[in-house]
Structure 1
């Protein structure tokens, strides 16, 4: 199955994810099974997290017959590879496991379906662009810096799903591609996470596990933020320049007609709604379920202000949901990878091998190895806090033995986790961004891979500085 993008045929993102799922299933036959011991530890904030016990890895005997390859069932007594039937079951299991996230994405799509039908977004963009005269060299850096601040200081990510359709509408109006609009939001959010100046989801888990105060060592992360945001902004502007290689104007004339009262109230409601959502997420720790209910509430508010008939509002909501329906399949497939690795009991083996890969080759090589280790692990464990909980108890002691400071160990984790999430197809966070923007993973990967290479080299340089200065 292929999709057509701007006259070119590219592989469907669903097929890409299916291939990754099949590779994960095959690895359960090729990679030895094993596991670490785990224990629950209470953190400084009183929360209990399950951590891996260092040096506790043990291999387990794997037994299976021909029938197990086709129909095998999980067993606590006997370790088996994942069968064909289990591989198929992993997909609906993944969808069920991420049901709250999937519905949140679909409700966002529905909410914007209602808002789009009202015409407020188009009118608001036209007015905003008329003020700046559509100058992308002013708009793009300003928007990217604003978006990155929320993620690097507060760990905001899924909250930006609200703004992706609006930014893409803006780039459409400027004659630019959807992938450019997606990049303005996604790269800013991902680099914000990569630097994590005070991101609690990354630092509140990772730093205490290696024995350093939460949010300490900000100097190196600030350098990282400035360097990598500068690179990303330059990259997006360079791509915009390439899109306009034919001499098309990068600033345009727009209608400066004042907004109607209805459109103005709709945009005010949207602004207040976004602000309250950020407040609720940070104050009451709203998760996907609460956010889904909130987006449904906003849909009703928008429909009422726009004076839509109930049937028209419902049709617009469903039409908006249909646009992001593929997110359910993609998120289910991405989660299926982790389920397969756990059921085949090879997740811990992969972690054990990667720790062995770090070795004792001196502080510099070990720091680079930690970075690469985190890059690879992020494919299987795309959760930032989850990856920190698994790797920090292991890599912290390893770092001390080979001369890598605890802060640099955390820094290598941030670099690896943040960079892989820019492109990895198993990241549900990236997949819902892609689904909301209606951009395929293959198209996004083609756009972003040169930047990933540049950021990879930059990360190695920054790690070198961190080791050299004893950060």
Structure 2
């Protein structure tokens, strides 16, 4: 019998089982936590680690964590379904197809420019609002674009999702990453801003250039698309305007009104139905197409729920804090360069069981800051090692439900994604490490 690479659901169920099994080898422990009045989050008290009554996950608890993971991620699952349904309606009106064809024709002699624009726009969204789950619904558009310009769909997803994650990783103003970590480390936002911006620009340029160069399909496509001028009708123009206005309003709401997933879901529910009616699908027709969109996106929702289950088990068995303590404590006895490298690698590994970037900032920054003080180096190193390693791991780890959901929506197998992405990922991991080592000198 020929062995095949495990299905994404099997991979994540395996991680759920592994998380439960690890509780039998990890002594439960915890750090004391205090409320940070500025951020409204609980942060760890350095040096407060202590063991607690050992809790090993039973088979019953492991099984129960799966539905509980779905409940824990219910707001994201609802967002995936409602935004996914809305974009499916927009696609069925024909507006997306026409819009993409018009865009491709507009850049017919400057295709590289189009791809750079896509990468930069998504990198900007990642840098400012940490866009990730919102890209799930855009997968059908990206699939169409890839076919039209004869590019590997993985490269187009890399230019969209990947650029957003790279932007979030290297950004000095990501509110869920670097800004949060800087706040906990009691660092001024302006300190090191120019330094971070230089490496942000380098990372985006390297990432986009790599995938634009290597993403072009080497074989001829079976279906040849003739480039011709496309006229966008008033009906399609209104639908496209509503759709992208919805994206703009969503960004505004996140930045200025502190919107959560529920407001975003409500917004796109309205946008989806409005576009269906404008596209003359009718009330019943719009409802049928919307529910068909649910069926297209439900797999992505399942992936998110299972990813949440992994962290839930580790949290319930008090295994997360001992893992962090075991990784950070040996760094105190190392030379500063090795300690910086060790911290960088530790932050990358920690992101597998702790897939939340903001959660990892709250968990690790309070521990990394005293370590930097003890070694006599800038606290900026604590923030840089966290933001680069944590952000870039979002491109690889299967416990990142958002990334796995985008791949599922685009029809990309996880192993195919990894086989394509690993070289460019190593390039940026290397760039991040170079930035950390230079920062040892730059920040004194």
Report the TM-score when normalising by structure 2. Answer: 0.94
Matching of residues 99-138 of structure 1 within 5 Å: 99-133=74-108, 135-138=110-113
Shift of 1:104: 0.4
RMSD over aligned CA atoms reads 2.2
Equivalent residue number for residue 277 of structure 2: 304
- The one of 9, 12, 21 equivalent to 1:26 is 21
Matching of residues 36-435 of structure 1 within 5 Å: 36-43=31-38, 47-62=39-54, 80-133=55-108, 135-241=110-216, 243-244=217-218, 246=219, 253-435=226-408
More divergent stretch after superposition (50-59 vs 168-177): 168-177
Shift of 1:470: 2.6
Shift of 1:15: 0.9
Cα distance between partner residues in 2 of 1:205 and 1:126: 41
Asked if 1:469 corresponds to 2:414, the answer is: no
- The one of 420, 431, 439 equivalent to 1:458 is 431
Shift of 1:248: 7.0
Residues 172, 179 of structure 2: 8 Å contact kept: no
Shift of 1:35: 1.1
SS in 2 for 1:199: coil
Cα distance between partner residues in 1 of 2:136 and 2:172: 22
Q: How many residues align?
A: 443
Shift of 1:142: 1.6
Cα distance between partner residues in 1 of 2:414 and 2:187: 37
Q: How big is each residue's C-alpha offset from its partner over 1:291-344, in whole Å with a ceiling of 9 and x where there is no partner?
A: 111111011110111121222211211111111111222112111111111122
Cα distance between partner residues in 1 of 2:26 and 2:19: 10
Cα distance between partner residues in 1 of 2:84 and 2:134: 13
More divergent stretch after superposition (186-195 vs 432-441): 432-441
Shift of 1:49: 1.2
SS in 2 for 1:201: coil
Q: 1:320 to 1:9 in 2, by over 3 A?
A: farther
More divergent stretch after superposition (106-115 vs 449-458): 449-458
More divergent stretch after superposition (346-355 vs 441-450): 441-450
Residues 126, 168 of structure 2: 8 Å contact kept: yes
Shift of 1:253: 4.3
Q: How big is each residue's C-alpha offset from its partner over 1:335-359, in whole Å with a ceiling of 9 and x where there is no partner?
A: 1111111122111100110111323
More divergent stretch after superposition (222-231 vs 156-165): 156-165
Shift of 1:234: 2.3
Q: 1:404 to 1:437 in 2, by over 3 A?
A: farther
Cα distance between partner residues in 2 of 1:151 and 1:438: 22
Shift of 1:177: 3.1
Shift of 1:229: 1.3
Q: How big is each residue's C-alpha offset from its partner over 1:160-198, in whole Å with a ceiling of 9 and x where there is no partner?
A: 445443232211212333322211101110110111131
Cα distance between partner residues in 1 of 2:151 and 2:286: 30
Cα distance between partner residues in 2 of 1:276 and 1:395: 37
Cα distance between partner residues in 2 of 1:100 and 1:132: 38
SS in 2 for 1:379: coil
Residues 129, 251 of structure 2: 8 Å contact kept: no
Shift of 1:398: 0.6
List alignment gaps of at least 5 residues for structure 1.
3-7, 63-79
Shift of 1:204: 3.2
Residues 323, 438 of structure 1: 8 Å contact kept: no
Cα distance between partner residues in 1 of 2:191 and 2:413: 38
Residues 277, 286 of structure 2: 8 Å contact kept: no
Report the TM-score when normalising by structure 1. Answer: 0.89
